[in-house]
Amino acid sequence: MLIYLNGKLVPKEEAKVSVYDHGLLYGDGVFEGIRVYEGNIFRLREHIERLYESARTIMLEIPMSLEKMIEATVETVAANGRKDGYIRLVVSRGVGDLGIDPANCDVPTVIIIVDGIALYPPEFYDTGISLITASTRRIPLECLDPRIKSLNYLNNIQAKIEARRAGVPEAIMLNQNGRVAECTADNLFVIKDGKLLTPDVTEGALPGITRATVLELGKQIGYEPQETRLGLHDLYNAEECFLTGTGAEIVPVINVDGRGIGDGTPGAGTGRLLRAFRELIVTDGVAVAFR
């Protein structure tokens, strides 16, 4: 395996960063997770644009242009020969000292990893999953904008621990007003009365690339997509519920906090969206010319 590290492709065993890197010391940086399907990097430009937007918000100057970052990502996928896989792209503040001042970091660290990923077992897509609501709340918009995909995921990790302790794979995170924001690593959707509903980004949801894709597909197959406010009452009484994410894709939810969703099995609408999504992912993106 070859890792892109600051402009060079190096073997995994030699891909190392300093213990003084502020990404390690303080979680100071941004990242993206991107999928490769049959040699096609799905919506690569949209992911890279989101990366640069996150970096701009935290005043992190990425040491290469957006176009060069796209080229480097394609090059790394090609060099590893992975026609199906997962890309983790990380830009940290770089090496500094033991103070938090980012002015002490000279050059940001850029890392591109191409590997495999399997967040959920294949059977979950057929049987569905159960969720709980975490007691850990989403960090308020006033404190840290959820649209920043930063390296500091401790808030989400705490909620994930709650899910694991409850024996379920994912947990719903509420915002400071008690409304639904998202899950620990995925966006959340419900279907009700012909509407395809998901929390607005101002409610604490990350503007996921898969989330945006599902909103587009939902409209194409006849749903009325809406980014809105949702409470747990809306989830408990939904006809269907599902999660979306780069790693997860589209995962049906059949139970929330002990309450069955719909008839307690994956819904037909969720199935239609998943099929439409899987037809799209192999064509909508950047094709890689493998060596």
Active site positions, annotated: 149
Paired tokens of 100: 């938090």
Three-state secondary structure along 50-115? HHHHHHHHCCCCCCCCHHHHHHHHHHHHHHHCCCCEEEEEEEECCECCCCCCHHHCCCCEEEEEEE
CA distance 132 to 178: 14
Residue 8 to residue 25: CA distance in whole angstroms = 23
Helix axis angle for 209-220 and 44-57, nearest 10°, is 130
What's the DSSP call for residue 138?
P
Instruction: Report the alpha-carbon distance of residue 54 to residue 62 in Å, rounded.
Output: 11
- Burial label, 138 (beta-carbon count in 10 A; 0-12, 13-18, 19+): buried
Residue type, 174: L
Q: Which residue has the tokens 């009365």?
A: 193
Is 205:148 a contact under the CB 8 Å cutoff? Answer: no
Q: How many angstroms separate the most distant Cα atoms in the chain?
A: 57
Q: How far apart are the first and last CA of the chain?
A: 14
Tokens (6 digits) for 177: 């007003």
